[in-house]
Amino acid sequence: MAISFFYIVFVILIIAFVCVRKRMHLFEILFLWMVLMCLEQNFVTIVNLNLKMVTIPEKHDIYWVMAAGRLLFNPLLMIWYVELCFTKHRTFLFRGIFALLLIFLLVARELASEHFHLLYFTGWKPWWSAVSYACTISIAVLLYKWFHRLIGKEGAC
- Shorter beta-carbon distance to another protein: residue 98 or 116: 116
DSSP reduced 3-state for 55 = strand
CB of 123 to another protein, least distance (A): 14
- Is the Cβ of residue 50 or residue 91 nearer to another protein in the bound state? 50
Smallest separation (angstroms) from another protein to the CB of 28: 10
CA dist., res. 60 & res. 55, Å (int): 14
Residue 119 contacts residue 65 (beta carbons within 8 Å):
no
Nearest to another protein of 49, 93 (CB atom)? 49
For another protein, the closer of residues 99 and 144 by Cβ is 144
Closest distance of CB 101 from another protein, Å: 27
DSSP sequence for 8-46? HHHHHHHHHHHHS---S-HHHHHHHHHHHHHHHHHHHHI
Residues 6+ apart with CB under 8 A from 97: none
- Where do contacts with another protein occur on this chain (CB under 8 A)? 25-27, 30-31, 34-35, 37-38, 41-42, 45-46, 48-51, 56, 58-60, 63, 67, 71, 147, 150-151, 154-156
Q: Which residues contact 29 (CB under 8 A, 6 or more apart)?
A: 22, 79
d(Cα 111, Cα 68) in Å, to the nearest integer? Answer: 16
Of residues 57 and 126, the one with the C-beta less far from another protein: 57
Smallest gap from residue 109 Cβ to another protein (A): 20
Task: Please report how close the Cβ of residue 48 comes to another protein at its closest, in angstroms.
Answer: 8
